[in-house]
Amino acid sequence: MISTIPSNPACLGVFDSGVGGLTVLRELHRLLPEVPMLYVADAAHAPYGQREPDYIIQRSLIVAEHLIDQGARVLVVACNTATAHAIGALRQRWPELPIVGTEPGIKPAVAASRNGRIGVMATPSTIASARFADLIARHAGAAQVFSQPCPGLVALIERGELETPALHQLLAQLCQPLVDAQVDTVLMGCTHYPLVQPALQRVLGEQVKLLNIESAVAQQAAKQWQGLDLAAATAAPMLLTTGSADALTQFVQQALAWPLQAQALRL
């Protein structure tokens, strides 16, 4: 049975397994400061990148249904892993709802590379997905793509370890294969990774271009929202989490300098 969109006050819904999607939310709020936004961090079930596909689909459907019940008229899947495995199921469940996914931008990475050697850092689940393989097949062309799974990186970022010895050690380990491959462009294929971009840039070297995709995702979502011609009043984003509300509040205040209070969500 196809679910319908309820007639609640309109908002723009965004979700991720944790804090990574905040990079997309930040860009969305910059583009649409007058639009009410509701963000769900499914932290109690994070990281998605180390979960089985069926589990990711199940959690994505549950979180999306909550956002839609709360009035989401555009849904942003601000998670590469959830996009890779669950966006098809989401679009099948809510075919009338604009749903914007988050995928590694292989095409712009190819355009940005000088030597045709591109690195993609992503969660193990994203890299193992058929959707990721299809992106490479469709857009890589003659370029060589070196895929680097990054187990453990999201967990460190979720704990707020953005400049710690443990983070630096893990980044050095993860980046070494890309350095050895002499890539000149690296795509951050997870919305969490821009939160440690300065540390990542230092490990890769200043000669390597680092690309993220939150701006493109936010622009697409903004276009979808504007196409609905909905009235909106200025509002700060609302943050919900299935994990610790205090931890998310502390993270957004320290990492993003947002004076927002997160609320706990049982889902």
Query: Which strand (E) or helix (H) includes residue 177?
Result: helix 165-180
Instruction: Give the strands of the sheet with 37-41, arranged side by side.
Output: 99-100, 72-77, 11-16, 37-41, 238-241, 263-264
Q: Both ends of the chain: CA-CA distance in Å?
A: 22
190 labelled catalytic: yes
CA–CA distance, 67 with 170 (Å, rounded to integer): 34
* Inter-residue contact 117 to 184 (CB < 8 Å): yes
CA–CA distance, 25 with 239 (Å, rounded to integer): 10
Catalytic residue of the set 11, 150, 175, 190: 190
Amino acid at 190: C
DSSP 3-state assignment of 77?
Answer: strand
pLDDT tens column, 67-95: 999 999 999 999 999 999 999 999 999 99
Per the annotation, does 17 bind a ligand? yes
- Domains located in the chain, CATH noted: 11-102+215-264 (3.40.50.1860), 106-212 (3.40.50.1860)
Q: Is the pLDDT of residue 6 over 90?
A: no
Per the annotation, does 69 bind a ligand? no
- Across the range 141-163, mean pLDDT stands at 95
Catalytic residue of the set 11, 79, 150, 175: 79
User: CA-CA distances (angstroms) from residue 236 to 14, 64, 233?
Assistant: 14, 20, 10
Per the annotation, does 49 bind a ligand? yes
Q: Is the pLDDT of residue 104 over 90?
A: no
175 labelled catalytic: no
Confidence of residue 7 (pLDDT cuts 50, 70, 90): low
Cis-peptide, bond into residue 47, ω within 30° of zero: yes
Question: Which residue is associated with the tokens 């011609």?
Answer: 229
Per the annotation, does 191 bind a ligand? yes
Per the annotation, does 164 bind a ligand? no
Confidence of residue 114 (pLDDT cuts 50, 70, 90): very high
pLDDT tens column, 233-253: 667 899 999 999 999 999 999
Confidence of residue 131 (pLDDT cuts 50, 70, 90): very high
pLDDT tens column, 202-226: 999 999 999 998 989 999 999 999 9
The number of beta carbons lying within 10 Å of the beta carbon of residue 95 is: 10
Q: Is the pLDDT of residue 200 over 90?
A: yes
Phi, psi at 169, each rounded to 5°: -65, -45
Which residues are bridge partners to 264 per DSSP? Answer: 241
CA–CA distance, 24 with 218 (Å, rounded to integer): 6
Q: Whole-model pTM?
A: 0.89
Residue 8 per-residue DSSP state: S
